[in-house]
Amino acid sequence: MTAPFRIRLDSATLVGERREGTGLPLVLTHGFGGSRHDWQPVITALPENLPLITYDQRGFGDSTGEPGVAFSHGEDLLALLDRLGIAQVDLCGMSQGGALALNFALTHPERIRKLVLVSPGMVGWSWSEEWIAHWKQVGRAARAGDMDTAREIWWQHPFFASTRESEAAPLLRASIEAFHGQQWVQDDQRRELPDVDRLTHLATPTLLLTGGLDVADFRLIAELIEGAGQNVARIDHADAGHMLILEIPGTIAGEIASFLST
Please report, to the nearest 10 degrees, the dihedral formed by the alpha carbons of residues 205, 207, 208, 211 taken in order. Answer: 180
| Nearest by Cα to 201 from 232, 221, 227, 228 | 228
Q: Is it the case that residue 41 has pLDDT exceeding 90?
A: yes
Average pLDDT over all residues of the chain:
97
Residue 27 has pLDDT above 90, yes or no: yes
**Domains of the chain by residue range:** 2-126+189-261
- Chain segment 67-93, per-residue pLDDT in tens: 999 999 999 999 999 999 999 999 999
Asked whether the predicted pLDDT for residue 58 surpasses 90, the reply is yes
Residue 225: is it exposed, middle or buried by C-beta count within 10 angstroms (0-12/13-18/19+)?
buried
- Answer whether CATH 3.40.50.1820 is correct for domain 2-126+189-261: yes
3-state secondary structure (DSSP) of residue 181 = coil
Residues 6 or more apart in contact with residue 21 via CB below 8 angstroms: 48, 49, 50, 51, 52
pLDDT on residue 116:
99
- CA distance linking residue 35 with residue 194, whole number of Å: 25
Q: Alpha carbon 191 to chain centroid distance?
A: 18
Confidence of residue 1 (pLDDT cuts 50, 70, 90): confident
